[in-house]
Amino acid sequence: MGRKSAKASGPVAGEYEGASGPLTLEPDPYTADGWVIYVNGVPSSHIVIGEPRELAFEYMRWIASAVQAQVAAVPLDPASLRVTHLGGGACTMARYVADVYPDSRNTVVELDGKLAELVREQFDIPRAPRVKIRVGDARTVAASFTPASRDVVIRDVFAGAVTPETFTTVEFFTDCRRGLASDGLYVANCGDHSDLRGAKAELAGMAEVWRHLAVIADPPMLKGRRYGNIILLGSDVAIAEPPVRELLGGGVPAQFRGDAWVRRFMSGATPRRG
């Protein structure tokens, strides 16, 4: 097992014991001070030391663009922005939001307590209250949300390459909506196959809860040509389209699709319940 180290001396590569399997830290050979965090052998997070706005995973850049566009359009007050991240990993997105909005309050819910501890020890994660890590089951935490207690909820929960079904149901979406302010935003990272049945079922469930829906993904994904990530957005206020230059930048250009497109896309899908 790798030894623990103070953040001042930098992360230490190696394998660490996680609550449900091995956690591995590896330097990114293509990025100076970049690190990849593996959970049970699956790439889970990427962090660049000292550069919280560097997001290596395309889907994280899409989430960041969606959140920033909505904060500006509603507008939401950056000085009191409350963001809950269901699924923590290495706190990459919380670290990003805390840097863009220094007065924001980010709560990360992470099931693996050993991963949460490792991230705090090895990486430059802002301290609470800017980034608070809460160890627990994200579904249970969502069920306990106090009404209107947050402005953004970001779901990025995976078991391997799959989001557990309990995070894709009408009941889960209802819990998230209760926790959001009336002008809040729900964001989900959905990993799906070319048939897109999972994304369509989630959107059908979200349509029962939120007035407005949108998605962000790259064109091949939207056309059902491969497995990949599709970002699902829900709100009771109109969802702002991120700047086109932000979605087209990077190695995987993406597109924003709003209400009308989403409702055609999910037509005939059956929401999940339970």
Residue 103 has pLDDT above 50, yes or no: yes
- Confidence at residue 227, expressed as pLDDT on a 0 to 100 scale: 87
Residue with tokens 């014991």: 17
- Residue 137, judged by CB atoms within 10 A of its CB (0-12, 13-18, 19+), counts as middle
Quickly state the pLDDT bin for 7 (edges 50, 70, 90).
low
User: Mean pLDDT across the chain, nearest whole number?
Assistant: 94
How confident is the model over 116-165, as pLDDT tens digits?
999 999 999 999 999 999 999 999 999 999 999 999 999 999 887 789 99
What percent of the chain clears pLDDT 90, i.e. is strictly above it? 88
**What domains are there in the chain, each with its CATH number?**
52-265 (3.40.50.150)
Residue 6 has pLDDT above 50, yes or no: no
- Confidence at residue 8, expressed as pLDDT on a 0 to 100 scale: 61
**pTM of the predicted model, to two decimals?**
0.95
- Confidence at residue 2, expressed as pLDDT on a 0 to 100 scale: 39
Quickly state the pLDDT bin for 249 (edges 50, 70, 90).
confident
DSSP characters over 53-92: T---SHHHHHHHHHHHHHHHHTT--GGG-EEEEES-TT-H
- Confidence at residue 1, expressed as pLDDT on a 0 to 100 scale: 37
What percent of the chain clears pLDDT 70, i.e. is strictly above it? 97
Quickly state the pLDDT bin for 33 (edges 50, 70, 90).
very high
**Quick one: residue 60, left, alpha or beta (phi over 0 = left, psi -120 to 50 = alpha)?**
alpha
- Confidence at residue 5, expressed as pLDDT on a 0 to 100 scale: 43
Beta strands in the chain (DSSP E): 14-17, 22-27, 34-39, 42-48, 82-86, 105-110, 131-135, 150-155, 180-192, 212-217, 228-235, 255-257
- Confidence at residue 4, expressed as pLDDT on a 0 to 100 scale: 43
Angle at 131 between CA 92 and CA 168, to 5 degrees: 60
How confident is the model over 51-90, as pLDDT tens digits?
999 999 999 999 999 999 999 999 999 999 999 999 989 9
How confident is the model over 183-227, as pLDDT tens digits?
999 999 999 989 999 999 999 999 999 999 999 999 999 988 888
What is the C-alpha separation between 45 and 193, in angstroms, rounded?
21
